[in-house]
Chain A
Amino acid sequence: MPNVPFSSQELLKWSGAIFVTLLEAYVVYAIARKWDMRRLICAENGDASMSRFQLLLFTFAIGGGYFYLMLQKAAFPPIDVGALGLLGISSGTYAISKGIQASRDTNAAAQASATTNPPAVPTGGSLSSSAAAGAGGPTAPPRQP
């Protein structure tokens, strides 16, 4: 057995540590330089969303503290109910606000569609006769009133 400076367990630990560190370094680099972060807190219509900003704020405030404690104690710290409540309120508001926005957008789209494409008013027999003529079939006789 050759004499190696690292045991296989030690090598595995270092590989994991270096992999995670490289991944973290890439994420930081990508956020700073590569990924398009312009619309991070924007809604679908392009306006900045208050709910998204709030969710970002509390995720950093609570998540950052949680990860800090986890690294310090090398264990999962208990999560305070109040902090969970804050995240819950924020996420709930985000979800409800998305629902309201989606309902509003659907209504606006329906109204816009109704104004640009008014519903066709059927006129007695003209549709069926033109369709039959377009298909090359025998023309239907005009319907008598």
Chain B
Amino acid sequence: MRPDLFIRDATGAFLILVPAVIGWQILTGRIEMGGMLYERDPAGRLVYSPARLQLLLVSLAGAAQLLWRFTGNPDHLASANPLVLAGMGASQLSYLASKAWAAYQAKK
């Protein structure tokens, strides 16, 4: 075995293991996800935030689409679909707008 092949396989395993371990910890609750879909109102209470839900869904869809395209053609780094890119931008903007609005309300 050559050292370059050895390090390639070891790093490949590392790249699979790190997301797998973190994904497992998220699924089993070892990494805290509480309050991700909630925002604090001016009184400090947690209230459900639809802006966060849509951002979560769009992000998951964007990442899944990227991985799907990459596995379809693993010779090149997958390019993001312009439609997905525009959707991501709009989603992020709406999330930031809702966050800024909440901050403005709290300041008032």
Could you tell me which A residues sit within 8 Å of B by CB distance? 10, 13-14, 16-17, 20-21, 24-25, 27-28, 31-32, 37-42, 45-50, 53-54, 56-58, 60-62, 64-69, 71-72, 74, 77-83, 85-86, 89-90, 92-93, 96-97, 100-101, 103-104, 107-108
Contacts and interface: CB of A to CB of B under 8 A. Distances in A.
Interface centre among B4, B7, B56, B82 (most CB of A within 10 A): B7
B3 A17 contact: yes
B25 A61 contact: no
Contact of A31 (B22, B62, B84, B92): B22
A89 B89 CA distance: 7
A93 to B, nearest CB: 4
B63 A17 contact: no
Interface of B: 3-4, 6-8, 10-15, 17-19, 21-22, 25, 30-36, 38, 40, 46, 52, 55-56, 59-60, 62-63, 66-67, 70, 74-82, 84-85, 88-89, 92, 95-96, 99-100, 102-103, 106-107
Contact of B79 (A31, A42, A80, A96): A80
A85 B80 contact: yes
Contact of A61 (B8, B17, B63, B92): B63
26 contacts: A10-B3, A13-B4, A16-B3, A17-B6, A21-B6, A24-B10, A28-B18, A47-B36, A50-B56, A50-B95, A53-B33, A53-B56, A60-B63, A65-B70, A67-B15, A80-B79, A82-B82, A86-B62, A86-B80, A86-B85, A89-B85, A89-B88, A90-B92, A101-B99, A104-B106, A107-B106
A83 B88 contact: no
Contacts, number: 171
A82 B80 contact: yes
